[in-house]
Structure 1
Amino acid sequence: MAMNLAKWGNSLHSGEKTYPIVQQRKRWFAVSGFLMLAAIVLLLTKGLNPGIDFTGGTQFQVSNAADPSPAIATEVVAEFAPEQTPEISILGANDVLVQIGVVEQATSQSIVDSLSVAYDVAADEVGFTQIGPTWGAEVGKKAVQGLIVFIVLVALVITVYFRAWRMAVAAIGALAHDLLFTVGIYALVGFEVTPATVIGFLTILGYSLYDTVVVFDKVKENTAHLTEQNRFTYEELANLAVNQTLVRSINTSVVALLPVSAILFIGSLLLGASTLQDISLALFVGMAVGTYSSIFVATPFEVALRLREPWIKEHTEMVLRLRESGEVEVAHAADGSIRVGALQPGRHQGTKAQPKGKKRK
């Protein structure tokens, strides 16, 4: 099995075997478009469930309760703040987390005392935190600002590094794809959005960007001497780059998802550590969809933008014309795609040919 996987990876890297990922970009765009539409519908209908860090409110935590029944906390809140609807979570085996809206300081103290008696714990084992709505709104504002600054810096760095604004646009498009899908999942399952969730969002954007940059770097390497050969088009060389990095992307994702899966499914769902779900769900969903976008969205989107450039369009037309005339022959895979083969910068097969028009600098 290991030998077969190694052989498969080697054949992909050498170009002996390729999957027409870029050539079938309309299919992947349709899938992503459907997912984005579903995420938008969920956001408009169900919406997100922001935590008290964003909305403001009061949080009580009872430690070491002999009977961590949510019904006890519900009765206590109903007695002192009947207008409030509490959100109650069980943390671990015997800790109770109670969240309500903003209440008076005296009311908060009365609830603390009552929870202490009801759960039969010492008074110092019941803590509470109160967050005003103004401070909560400021947290939300800072979270949005951090996201905007991140995206602007990403666009600048990619544009400078690759000297291609189209790669920056494609990378930002893939990041927006990942973020919107992950936020849609939060709207679907109703998990609370907290500052830890925002940290998770920024983390997955960094992970997705890393994967995308690796693929783009290979695209840049494969197409560095595009006009010095007349056998393969920009689209085919970019597709080769995706195939060459496919195994690396899959292996990296599997390794990264294993510990995140343990946090989400074992720590959060099985052991009841609900505070972990804020960040673990964002990481799990974001890493998975980030791998998908780096393969099926980012590079196909970049190629779709590149093919609009006159010099690439002319080169593509020249290559196809030479093939039709029989002056250039290429090998075809079983599925009809072009077998590009192992190409190193400056060592492309075929005679040198320059299409008319502007050459890439």
Structure 2
Amino acid sequence: MRYSSKFDFIKSSKYFIYFSILITVLGIGSLIFVGFNYGVDFRAGSNVDIVLSKPVAKDEIDKLLAEKNAGHYTLTAGADRASIRFDDILTDVQEKELKASITEKLDPNASMEINTVDVQMARELQFNALLALSLASLGILIYISFRFEWRFALAAIIALVHDAFIVISVFSIFRLEVNLTFIVAVLTIIGYSINDTIVIFDRIRENLRFAKIKSPADLAALVNRSIWETLTRSINTVVTVIFGALALYIFGSESIRLFSLAILIGLVAGAYSSIFIASPIWLALRSKAKPKSAQKTPATTS
């Protein structure tokens, strides 16, 4: 099969790189000037999850909270569920009054779960989340360096960080809530992204064994051919996972909706970064490597 007449991934990668740079710059700006919209998991406060036995309008819950002078809060309401996130930690008296008001005025069969996070616990959770992401990236770097070579490892880590930061940027720019499920989503994305990248890199390494590389163009053609040979597998994998994540986003509860959204964004980013980010970076690193020249033989005298 001739791959030269097909779509040139390497030549087209610059457009995807430009797009990623744009999102990254916007994300950095958003993180510097706006920051994250932290959920209760990463800041002090109380989270009240309510399971309703009948539909209750969001306006009714808002009205009830206004009557109670509940302070600043964020309300997310669905057909039979509601989640209230308070910036302040509720006291025992406030918790009892809130439960009594909801059962008396909204739904007598409502059940509630209240979780409270203090400042020290929030900081500890932030530190542990960053530590988990750092250790995961370090472990992947060590594995790929041992399994392949440092150029593959460096390209894979750049693509991995790219995928994670695309999700982080989108959540910061659109002020989406960041909580523990967000960290789980980012770790899941890292695992998916590196798996997809490794499949392409393994095919590149296999093709290198039998290829006669005489110029950078030959190397670029080899990378293109390797991508084409793994493209069907990559498409099938990402489409299958996207269907699952999309179903969770549409039909899942409010508590996992942002998790599903983060997975969807990461899947799209990971699908194109393996092809248009990781592979071109490896090609650039490999092209700059000095060719292994034959040992010079001593001159013979006649």
Contact 1:53-1:139 within 8 A present in 2 as well = yes
Partner in structure 2 of residue 198 of structure 1: 183
Note if contact 1:215-1:242 (Cα within 8 Å) is conserved in structure 2.
yes
**1:114 corresponds to:** 101
Bigger CA radius of gyration: 1
Residue in 1 that maps onto 2:37: 49
- Alignment partner for residue 147 of structure 1, among 116, 130, 133? 133
Change (3 A) 1:229 1:133: closer
Cα-to-partner distance string for 1:249-306 (whole Å, 9 max, x where unaligned): 1122112111211111x215xxxx2112121011111111101000100010111111
Q: What is the number of residues matched between the two proteins? A: 294
Query: Which residue of 248, 251, 259 maps to 1:267?
Result: 251
Query: Is 2:115 the partner of 1:129?
Result: yes
Q: How far apart are 1:206 and its partner, in Å?
A: 0.6
Aligned to 1:289: 269
Distance of 2:177 and 2:15 partners within structure 1: 33
Mapped partners of 1:230, 1:61: distance in 2: 64
Separation (CA, whole Å) in 1 of partners of 2:204 and 2:170 = 31
Deviates further, 23-32 or 173-182: 23-32
Hey, what does 2:90 align to over in structure 1?
A: 103
Q: CA deviation at 1:223?
A: 1.2
**Take 2:201 and 2:295, find their aligned partners in 1: how far apart are those partners?**
25
| Equivalent in the alignment of 2:286 | 306
Structure 1 residue identity aligned to 2:17: F
Q: Taking structure 1 as reference, are residues 294 and 107 closer, same or farther at Cα in structure 2, changes over 3 Å only?
A: same
- Contact 2:52 2:107 (8 Å CA) reproduced: no
2:144 is matched with: 158
Distance (whole Å) between structure 2 residues aligned to residue 285 and residue 80 of structure 1: 38
Q: Quick one: which of 79, 86, 89 aligns to 2:76?
A: 89
Secondary structure at 2:291 match in 1: helix
Instruction: Indicate the larger mover: 190-199 or 56-65.
Output: 56-65
2:72 aligned partner, one-letter code: T
Displacement of 1:229 after TM fit?
Answer: 5.9
State the secondary structure of the residue aligned to 1:190. Answer: coil
Which of 4, 7, 30 is the matching residue for 2:18? 30
Percentage of pairs with the same residue: 25
Once the two structures are superposed, residues 61-91 of structure 1 have per-residue CA deviations (whole angstroms, 9 ceiling, x without a partner) of 3332545233333344344445x21211113
Deviation at 1:18, TM superposition (A): 3.5
- For residues 281 and 167 of structure 1, do their structure 2 counterparts lie closer, same or farther at Cα, with a shift above 3 Å needed? same
Q: Give the structure 1 partner of residue 219 of structure 2.
A: 234
Letter in 2 for 1:190: R
On the 8 A contact 2:77/2:83 being kept in 1, the answer is: yes
Q: Is the 8 A contact 2:186 2:266 kept in 1?
A: yes
Q: Which runs of 5+ in 2 are unaligned?
A: 297-302
Instruction: Measure the CA separation in 1 of the matches of 2:294 and 2:15.
Output: 32
- Corresponding residue for residue 175 of structure 1: 160
- Contact 1:115/1:126 (8 A) holds in 2: no
Instruction: Compute the TM-score of the two structures, normalised by the length of structure 2.
Output: 0.88
- Specify whether residues 18 and 88 from structure 1 end up closer, same or farther in structure 2 by C-alpha distance, changes over 3 A only: same
How has the CA–CA distance of structure 1 residues 300 and 64 changed in structure 2, closer, same or farther, with 3 Å as cutoff?
same
CA distance in 2, matches of 1:292, 1:255: 16
Compared CA separation, residues 278 and 78, structure 1 to 2 (3 A):
same
Structure 2: distance between partners of 1:28 and 1:311? 29
- Note the alpha carbon deviations across 1:313-334, whole angstroms, 9 max, x for none: xxxxxxxxxxxxxxxxxxxxxx
Match of 2:240 among 242, 250, 255: 255
Q: 1:62 to 1:253 in 2, by over 3 A?
A: closer
Structure 1 residue runs of 5 or longer lacking an equivalent are 1-10, 313-354
Q: Deviations over 1:12-50 (max 9, x none)?
A: xx6364332224443432232122223223333443221
